[in-house]
């Protein structure tokens, strides 16, 4: 009896019987994309990078100025330490600590503002790239597309890299938008 069931199952499998049929819709196709490479070739990214660099340099200039001020206060305090009265020592120490706290707050605030500016400038670009990734994925019949270099992608075969297809499609769409 078991032998007959095995033979029936075998013939059903090779004949494409409904119990064992695998359609092309059931196949899972996977691809991956190098987002950084796409950002690197995206028109306008040089302007975004330049704007971010200008803002970073502006913040860094202010940070350096504040660090110099703290260093000057510290050096002045240390050079006059032996001649200062206790209450003056405490006042200067408090002033130095206060300036250090202000500096740390300014650095944190600067980093938040830079991150926010980066997000603001790159979000429209990212949205466009994701839109093109979706279109190309649908055209190629991909079920999943992973980001190259992500922690979730442990191995990638270059046959499944759709980065060049995305770049080609993105360039075409951007050219059409310019017209």
Q: For residues 162 and 140, is the Cβ–Cβ distance under 8 A? A: yes
pLDDT, mean over the chain: 84
Q: What is the mean pLDDT of residues 154-172?
A: 81
Least confident of 47-56, 83-92, 144-153: 144-153
CA 163 to CA 34: how far, in whole Å? 6
Please state the rounded mean pLDDT for residues 34-39: 90
Summarize the confidence of residues 148-170 as an average pLDDT. 79
Instruction: Give the C-alpha separation, 34 to 69, whole Å.
Output: 44
pLDDT, mean of residues 114-134: 94
Task: Tell me which of 58-62, 120-124, 164-168 is least confident.
Answer: 164-168
pLDDT average, residue stretch 103-122: 97
């Amino acid at each position: 009896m078991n032998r007959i069931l095995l033979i029936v199952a075998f013939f059903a499998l090779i004949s494409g019987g409904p119990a064992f049929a695998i359609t092309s819709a059931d196949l899972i196709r996977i691809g991956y994309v190098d987002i950084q490479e796409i950002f690197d070739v995206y028109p306008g990214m040089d302007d975004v990078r330049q704007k971010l660099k200008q803002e970073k340099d502006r913040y860094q200039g202010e940070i350096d100025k504040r660090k110099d001020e703290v260093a000057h206060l510290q050096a002045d305090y240390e050079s006059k330490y032996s001649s200062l009265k206790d209450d003056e020592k405490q006042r200067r120490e408090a002033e130095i600590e206060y300036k250090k706290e202000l500096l740390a707050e300014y650095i944190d605030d600067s980093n938040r503002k830079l991150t926010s500016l980066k997000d603001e400038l790159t979000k429209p670009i990212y949205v466009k790239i994701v839109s093109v990734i979706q279109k190309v994925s649908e055209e190629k019949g991909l079920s999943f597309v992973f980001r190259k270099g992500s922690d979730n992608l442990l191995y990638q075969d270059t046959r499944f890299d759709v980065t060049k297809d995305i770049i080609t499609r993105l360039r075409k769409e951007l050219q059409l938008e310019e017209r």
